[in-house]
Amino acid sequence: MSVTIYHNPKCGTSRNTLAMIRASGEEPVIIEYLQTPLSKEQLSELVAAMKISVRDLLREKGTPFAELDLANTKWSDDQLLDFIVQHPILMNRPVVATPRGTALCRPSERVLDLLENPAVNFTKEDGEQITYEQKDR
């Protein structure tokens, strides 16, 4: 199975998601999007694959969201994508793409539905225990 994670190693949610992927037996392609920013086209494709709005991909905390006035509805999706290209930290994370789908994995356990062989039991960095019950696939 091909798994790609758009990852920020400074983010606990992103680290937990990566650990869950590895616990499933997969070694994902890791794209550290702050070091290798995505193009506008790549961002647009991810948004379409996740079936979310561009606004849903925006991160507010720890970003220039407020100073850029991005809550203002005057910004089009196209303009918001330009802001993310200019300021990659605005992209919420982690995003994971697999043959089963693409999703913004917040909370991190959302990734389990995207994996072929998810770990049934997992302990997050903060000690939280996750028990995964497989749904009919």
Q: What per-residue confidence (pLDDT) applies to 134?
A: 73
Q: Residues 86-105: pLDDT tens digits?
A: 999 999 999 999 999 999 99
Helices (H), the chain: 12-23, 40-50, 54-57, 77-86
* Reported confidence tier of residue 136, pLDDT bands at 50, 70, 90: low
Q: Residues 48-77: pLDDT tens digits?
A: 999 999 999 999 999 999 999 999 999 999
This prediction's pTM: 0.93
Of residues 5, 6, 7, 11, which has the active-site annotation? Answer: 11
Active-site residue, 11 included: yes
Which overall architecture, per CATH, does domain 4-131 show?
3-Layer(aba) Sandwich (3.40)
Domain ranges of the chain: 4-131
